Amino acid sequence: MTPETKLPKVGTTIFSVMSQLAAEHGAVNLGQGFPDFDAPARLVDALARAMREGHNQYSPAHGVAPLREAIAAKTERCYGYRPDVDAEITVASGASEAIFDAVHAVVRPGDEVIVLDPCYDCYEPAIELAGGIAVHVPLDPRTFAVDWELVRKAITPKTRLLMTNTPHNPSGAMFGAEDIAALTALLRDTDILLLSDEVYEHIVFDGARHESALRYPELRERAFVISSFGKTYHCTGWKVGYCIAPPALSAEFRKVHQYNTFCTFTPAQFAFAEMIEAEPEHYEQLGAFYQDKRDRFREQLLSTRLKPLPVPGGYFQLVDYSEVSDLDDAAFCRWLTTEHGVVAIPLSPFYGRPPEGQRLARLCFAKNETTLDKAIGRLQKL
């Protein structure tokens, strides 16, 4: 007997599909967003030490105290706001779990949730599983800027939640002060909640400032702010992130979290606590670390027929491939993998309705120089 699917639009994620295709064809994988270099030595050593010291059982559901204290201090250092260690910080098994928990904490059947397209592919399934309705508002198809008037027009009496992402995946676009002002004005005098996905918060370039919702009292009082240790510390496979939200929202978040994963990998929590306190320069210098990679990769792309778009933040590079092919993005990325040995991610899975004729693909530059050099050598032959 085949049950009726609860997610009729969902198949295997594009990231898994393209990574499998990469393995089958021996392609250079610039698709899925993970580094191919090591996590910091201090972090790995701290993890091993935590396991040897016996931190191998369940942690408190909302996270071990040393890590929550380290997160509070780091948040104050970065954004001028110190969240309550006990009432406002919850450690989760990755940012994806935190996003799922936040959506299910507040979205009820029939509620509308505004998402800004293109958006990460876990947003809409979480909304649908909660019985909500995803309302897709398109970003500018070239700059990926938000048209706040379009967002305003999408709001109805059923709007429960607005989901934002800065720096943005897949484009790297970032909110500026004018976006924060528009967002604040839009939500003022409403009951609409905010989910601010900030997993690339420390990967910002060219002297820009990450405009976290935590900087702004009006926003943080209604927001779930999601962060990812995997992105910051080059260890995506550890699956550890966290959510900062005001006490009432955190209480609802934790109700879902405790029956979803209950708690998160305990020894890693102790390792991250040590890393944050002992080596703050890691996250402080992360933007410069990735900017070097971005600049080098963009310079190399200029020797190909792919046109790189601006990348203000994050570790993804969008390229316009219209001089190479008229294929749609899914077909182009499959062709690029099977015929030229380089994996890219199409943008269409990030949309409810992709723009007509868009010819963009996403490449990840969170890779060793040898990996990027090998990919460029193949892309120069297009």
What are φ and ψ of residue 232, in 5° steps? -75, -35
The domain boundary, picked from 279, 303, 323, lies at 279
Sheet holding 133-138, edge to edge: 89-92, 241-244, 223-228, 193-197, 159-165, 112-117, 133-138
**Mean pLDDT of the region 264-278:** 98
Q: Provide the CATH number for the domain around residue 359.
A: 3.90.1150.10
| pLDDT, tens only, 21-76 | 878 989 999 998 899 999 999 999 999 999 999 999 999 999 999 999 999 999 99
The domain boundary, picked from 264, 279, 294, lies at 279
| Number of structural domains the chain divides into | 2
Q: Are 20 and 62 in a shared domain?
A: no
Residue 76 lies in a domain: yes
Q: What is the percent of the chain with per-residue pLDDT over 90, rounded to a whole number? A: 92
| pLDDT, tens only, 104-129 | 999 999 999 999 999 999 999 999 99
Q: Are 240 and 330 in a shared domain?
A: no
Q: Are 35 and 46 in a shared domain?
A: no
Task: Give the domain extent around 308.
Answer: 14-39+284-379
Q: pLDDT value at position 7?
A: 87
| pLDDT, tens only, 183-214 | 999 999 999 999 999 999 999 999 999 999 99
How many Cβ atoms are within 10 Å of 151's Cβ, its own excluded? 20
Residue 6 lies in a domain: no
Give the whole-angstrom CA distance, residue 264 versus residue 246.
21
Residue 215 lies in a domain: yes
Q: Are 246 and 323 in a shared domain?
A: no
Residue 5 lies in a domain: no
- The answer to whether the Cα torsion of 300, 356, 116, 17 is positive or negative is negative
pLDDT(1) > 70: no
Residue 3 lies in a domain: no
Work out whether strand 133-138 and strand 316-320 pair parallel, antiparallel, or are unpaired. Answer: unpaired
Q: Are 289 and 225 in a shared domain?
A: no
Q: Are 22 and 60 in a shared domain?
A: no
